[in-house]
Amino acid sequence: AVLPPARSDDNNDIGDGDGGQLAHRFPSAIIIGVKKSGTRALLEFLRLNPAVKAPGPEVHFFDRHFDRGFDWYRRQMPLTTADQLTIEKSPSYFVTKTAPERVHRLDPTMKLIVVVRDPITRAISDYTQTASKRPGMPSFEHMAFINATNAVLPKMTPANAQGVNTSWGAIRIGIYHRFVSRWLEYFPLHQIHFVNGERLITHPAEEIAAVEKFVGLRPTVRAEDFVLNTEKGFPCIKRTDGTTHCLGKTKGRAHPKVSPHAISRLRTFYAPLNDRFYELIGRNFGW
Ligand SMILES: Nc1ncnc2c1ncn2[C@@H]1O[C@H](COP(=O)(O)OS(=O)(=O)O)[C@@H](OP(=O)(O)O)[C@H]1O
């Protein structure tokens, strides 16, 4: 397919006065997921680098709005000069079957960024978000395991002796190797950068520096740019004027207490799946 070039002659494009033409340009990197792993924190923190520009809301082009065409997608991007870099994040791309082929069709050199965290924490975070919109939702444990009332469900197999309800999205999304395999059918491994979601919380500057390097930017984000919100236990941005900026109240929610027995069953369930993921990408996250 012939792609529309990044044009600078749109009606709303304006020169920036010093030679760099402002234009809506396709992203050169996309944060494709994983949902509830810290994708918003990653994008907010990356934007501390003045060369990084991003659309405010999630664009959802490669999953929901693909029929609007590549030019629509480009116009959702912020105005940038040629030396700036556009990054988009829509975490649902990670699990969208058609997304790898579609992204590849737009740009086979696209850099892909994936934040991953312990699939158990991720599942609890996912559950917490859904439960916040659905009062009266059954407990996490009830959702996570095959039982009499959600028995629509996959049979217990030797591979799933823990009776984990793998048809529940919160559980399924954590089987990372399955989804990464699909992306690897279209993109080489070196074009995918994995961000450690746990370290993004404890060592944000280091994780951001690794991403800056991956996308070809000189690292500018430093440890001094962050301050820990001790109440929530998450880092916030420390601005040069001394004020702090934390993510909104839908990020860093309190999680329900999940029984140690349930956690241990999930650990047993995910252990071999995590190993397959580590093998696939040649990196071990130690979950
Ligand atoms: N700095 C900082 N501040 C707040 N929250 C942080 C931060 N870094 C990572 N996280 C974790 O990010 C979780 C939300 O992940 P996402 O942004 O990927 O969610 S979403 O998929 O876009 O809805 C969010 O999940 P919850 O704890 O369940 O709210 C956090 O655990």
Residue 126 and residue 221: Cα distance in Å, rounded?
29
Pairing of strands 29-33, 23-24: unpaired
**253: CA distance to ligand 1 center in Å?**
8
- Kind plus residue range of the DSSP H or E element containing 115: strand 111-116
- Residue percentage of the chain with pLDDT more than 90: 84
Specify if 285 maps to a domain.
Answer: no
Specify if 145 maps to a domain.
Answer: yes
Q: Catalytic: which of 35, 36, 53, 89?
A: 36
Output the residue whose Cα is nearest ligand 1's atom 17: 40
Specify if 133 maps to a domain.
Answer: yes
How many CB atoms neighbour CB 56 within 10 A? 8
Residue 242 sits in a domain of what CATH number? 3.40.50.300
Specify if 16 maps to a domain.
Answer: no
Range of the domain at 199: 23-280
How many CB atoms neighbour CB 64 within 10 A? 13
Q: What ipTM does this complex have?
A: 0.99
Total structural domains in the chain? 1
Q: What is the pLDDT of residues 174-211, one digit of tens each?
A: 999 999 999 999 999 999 999 999 999 999 999 999 99
Protein residues whose CB sits closer than 6 Å to any atom of ligand 1: 35-41, 91, 125, 128, 200-201, 234-235, 247, 251-253
Specify if 8 maps to a domain.
Answer: no
**163: CA distance to ligand 1 center in Å?**
28
- 36 as an active site residue: the answer is yes
**222: CA distance to ligand 1 center in Å?**
20
Specify if 17 maps to a domain.
Answer: no
What global pTM score does this model have? 0.92
Specify if 39 maps to a domain.
Answer: yes
Specify if 3 maps to a domain.
Answer: no
Q: What is the pLDDT of residues 31-46, one digit of tens each?
A: 999 999 999 999 999 9
What angle, rounded to 10 degrees, do the helices at 119-133 and 260-281 form?
A: 120
